[in-house]
Chains A and B, each alone.
Chain A
Amino acid sequence: MKTAQTRALALIALCGGFAAAAMAAQAVKGDPAKGKALAAEACASCHGPNGNSEVPAFPKLAGQQESYLLQELADYKSGARANEIMTPLVAGLSEQDMADLAAFFAKQDSSDGVVTNPALLAMGKRVYLQGNDKNGVPSCDGCHEENGEGSKRFPRVAGQHTEYTLEQMKQYATGKRTNGKKVMRTVAERLTDEEAKAVAEYMASLK
């Protein structure tokens, strides 16, 4: 039988374990002010000063989920996400730098997206909210939420440039982009070209 003392010791050990786990998860806390300064220097020329990029090929980062920003930076650095522009740029970033940048961009307001082909919005809405049962496409809102804001586990897609969204879907479908939760390769592969275009337009229209 356990004595009160051993129980107390076990409890202390347990608490210590939790504390260590919590510290590991929160190893680096991002500082948005430092992130802002670093972003101005390293990111603004492509992604805009607040992460509202005006070039459709470069993703908007403003309002993106912090966890996602951090993960993608880490994946660029490790090579899990390959990109000839980003790879050399993140090479010099420390873990703290990446946390600061993620904290900064996550707190910025996303500008409204640009719908380039409004005729596709109705179809895009249908795919986004209902998926396609015939080809096994799940609805996008399951992970990215109804308004496209994403969550701790899945990125924001609302207001994103259609060109960027489509390029990512293409990269998933062809196996060029393999990082992340591994389900987008299936979704992108199952979407028809028209569905992909339509859903990208609908995402751009979300606020």
Chain B
Amino acid sequence: MKTSLHAPLLVLVAALVPPAQAEPPAQPHAPGIESKGYVWNQQDPELARLLARKGDPDKGKISYEICRGCHKADAAGKPEAGYPQLAGQHPAVLIKQMVDVRAGRRDSPKMHPFIEHDVVASNELADIAAYLHGLPVPASNGKGDGRQPDLGRHLYDRDCASCHGAHGEGDGAKFYPRVAGQHYNYLYRETLESRDKGRRNSNPEMVMVLKHYVDSDVAAVSDYMSRLVPPAKP
């Protein structure tokens, strides 16, 4: 048989050829909130450079193609999959999160291969962020069960509004994400992860606030955030 005849030769060749890189590079690991001396948003050189750069939304639209398979063409994400809604988010927030995933301060093995340096050039991050920021925020995001609206409002107004804004509009200058119109599933998961320090690039101030939240508090406040609608810009 042909195969057996060539088998010894193949073994020899296989031994000489360096093993192929089947696996995409694993996500690196950078120190985060679990590490001593962690400073939130300690300026990563890539983050600092990109924040100073004006993104080009037209180029960003093209660069964003590689993200559409999960975050979809309208950047509405997929609530059932936990893929966040990105349309209308602050560029600084988007850039920070992308840089943190690249650097390994935010663990996302699912997303990392699609955002690593080999795949997306550094400047493209600023372009993608500029493009996404300009997209209309879809109103059909995933909501929570709506069972504890009063608790949700109470917690949000007491603990969250001072940073994320009365209407969930966030503050790009301070890296506070817009939470209004985000999918409930995503908000719930990420808030729990922040509380439990699994989201390693979290703001320690937020983690302090969340310390006393039980899961049902997180559910109520996530539900409330998912239903927020900031007033239209003039």
Contacts and interface: CB of A to CB of B under 8 A. Distances in A.
Interface of A: 131, 133, 136, 138-143, 151-154, 173-176, 178, 181-183, 185-186, 189
The interface residues of chain A, by DSSP majority, are classed as: loop
Identify the interface centre among B23, B67, B110, B118: most chain A CB within 10 Å of its CB: B110
A185 B110 CA distance: 13
B66 A133 contact: no
A176 B20 contact: yes
B16 interface: no
A116 B151 CA distance: 57
Given A139-B69, A153-B65, A182-B116, 5 more contacts: A133-B80, A143-B66, A173-B22, A183-B66, A183-B114
A178 B70 contact: no
B172 interface: no
A186 B24 contact: yes
A133 B81 contact: yes
A142 B24 contact: no
A32 to B, nearest CB: 25
Nearest to A143: B65
Contacts of B22: 173-175, 185, 189
A178 B113 contact: no
A178 B110 CA distance: 20
18 contacts: A133-B78, A133-B80, A133-B83, A136-B111, A138-B68, A138-B70, A138-B114, A143-B66, A143-B68, A152-B62, A175-B19, A175-B22, A176-B20, A183-B66, A185-B22, A185-B23, A186-B24, A186-B113
B66 A142 contact: yes
B119 interface: yes
B21 interface: yes
Contacts of B78: 133
A131 B83 CA distance: 12
Interface of B: 19-24, 62, 65-70, 72-73, 78, 80-83, 109-111, 113-114, 116, 118-119
Nearest to A137: B69
A141 B119 CA distance: 18
Nearest to B24: A186
Nearest to B73: A142
B65 A183 contact: no
Given A142-B67, A143-B68, A136 B110 contact: yes
A154 B119 CA distance: 13
A39 B3 CA distance: 34
A183 B68 contact: no
Nearest to B65: A143
A176 B18 CA distance: 11
Given A131-B69, A142-B67, A143-B68, A183 B119 contact: yes
Nearest to A135: B110
B118 to A, nearest CB: 5
B119 A182 contact: yes
B20 A175 contact: yes
Contacts of B20: 174-176, 178
Contacts of B118: 182
A141 B24 contact: no
A138 B73 CA distance: 12
Identify the interface centre among A133, A136, A140: most chain B CB within 10 Å of its CB: A136
A138 B116 CA distance: 16
Contacts of A186: 24, 113-114
A154 to B, nearest CB: 7
A183 B117 CA distance: 11
A182 B70 contact: no
Contacts of A153: 62, 65
Contacts of A176: 20
A143 B69 contact: yes
Nearest to B63: A153
A80 to B, nearest CB: 13
Contacts of A143: 65-66, 68-69
Contact of A141 (B23, B69, B81, B110): B69
